[in-house]
Amino acid sequence: MSRASLQKHTHCDIRAGTRKVTQGWRNMACEAPGHIVLRGSGCAPPRTLHIVFPHSLRAQQLLMHLALRKPAESQSGCLTCPRPRTVSGVPPFAEAADNDRPASYKGPIPKAGVRHPWSAEAAKTQIRAAHHTAPPAFVPAMATAAVLSPHDVQTSLNYYKPTEEVPYNYTYKRDDGPQTNIVPEAHDAVVHDIRGKEQTVSLDTTGFQFVKHVSEEKKFVDEDAITSRYYKEVEDLLKKETGAKRIFIFDHTIRRPSPNGDSDLTRGPVTRVHVDQTYQAGFNRVRHHMGDEADRLLKSRVRIINVWRPIENPVAHHPLAVADWRSLNPDDLVSTRHLYRDREGYTFSVKYNPEHKWYYLGNQTPEEVILIKCFDSDETKARLTPHTAFLDATSAKEAPQRQSIEVRCLVFDSE
């Protein structure tokens, strides 16, 4: 599976990739998205479970069943799968469907529409459904541990290393000098998975927000479709989420692996902690794009918000981390020259501070969008959020490389 459905369980730890997992009486390994291999002992052959929809509620019940149920012991003393049977050559309980629950089970099956399916109470019900022979006293003790837990990642983040030079970065390749004089400085950090707690963050408090949004665009390969249909979707989304009256989209960037395999730094994930605008650059953006309207628009609140979305697949490699505005110190931000061919802008590089609190959305799908605030003229609200791509060493190597689109928007509270 691309991400384990049960993590840090009391007795098991099912993870993506080839990490071996031991659970008392059974060994398991996740070797590919949608597959789990059960390894017996002695002469028992490995058995593979093919889970078609690993994130469905029924798939979660299946995994709980595997985690909680002790398998039968064969006459040869080898471990075998519980309740051996075969359906079209697929081992027991392999399909994530309603009709593969035990025939003898007569209790309720939680529905996909459960409002809080991963609460402790819901987990108890799911465990009873998947493991109906468990003793009553055993269920409550395991229920909390079996809840789908966030996948916090221990990693390192690249911060700005202070030097005596004014930092700069060119947006284009130069023939007469270096692209940048920024020296990255790696520091250990924990990036917390916000999944299940998305409501605890917002643009005005933390500087970022996660929202559900299904786009008509899927592959983002048609530039005309992006600037017409998708831009309109982004405008409508931002008006709904922020209450703004006017949106002006000034550019977008698509990041995906180079088709010819060559390194392309301008289109790959940015693995350096940064903010897209300084405070002064935010005001300058309005004047640059809005012309004669700028002075009038700047009399009311103005924000710059990036709308960031994965393309085609859930994010496995280089997910996007965002920092809580409240954990920043003003001295952490270092103004950095951002040089275009025709003008000069400014971004913030970020110095390391152990107080920084980092978050991401585990297994973020194309229907889950991050709103990233890069500037806010209202000094009583969160004004920006540093962000960076980061390495998750537990991601399955065979998972697709990250593709994403970010749309940068001026957000006006007045017309």
pLDDT at 26: 34
Per-residue pLDDT tens digits for 171-209: 998 999 999 999 999 999 999 999 999 999 999 999 999
Order across the sheet with 246-255: list the strands. 208-212, 368-376, 302-310, 404-412, 246-255
Q: Say how far residue 79 (Cα) sits from the centre of its chain.
A: 37
Q: Are 360 and 197 in contact (CB under 8 A)?
A: no
pLDDT computed for residue 227 by the predictor: 97
pLDDT of residue 234: 98
Q: What integer pLDDT is reported at residue 114 of this predicted model?
A: 40
Domain ranges of the chain: 20-146, 153-412
Nearest CA among 107, 128, 106, 124 for reference residue 116: 124
Positions in the chain short of pLDDT 50: 1-58, 67-148, 263-266
Q: Which of 156, 126, 152, 155 is nearest to 139 (CA)?
A: 126
pLDDT for the residue numbered 414: 87
pLDDT at 370: 98
Look at residue 267 in the predicted model and tell me its pLDDT: 75
**Per-residue model confidence (pLDDT) at position 415:** 76
Cβ-defined contacts of 23-32 (< 8 Å, 24+)? 23/67, 25/70, 25/71, 25/79, 26/66, 26/71, 26/79, 28/66, 30/1, 30/4, 30/396, 32/396, 32/398
pLDDT at site 106: 45
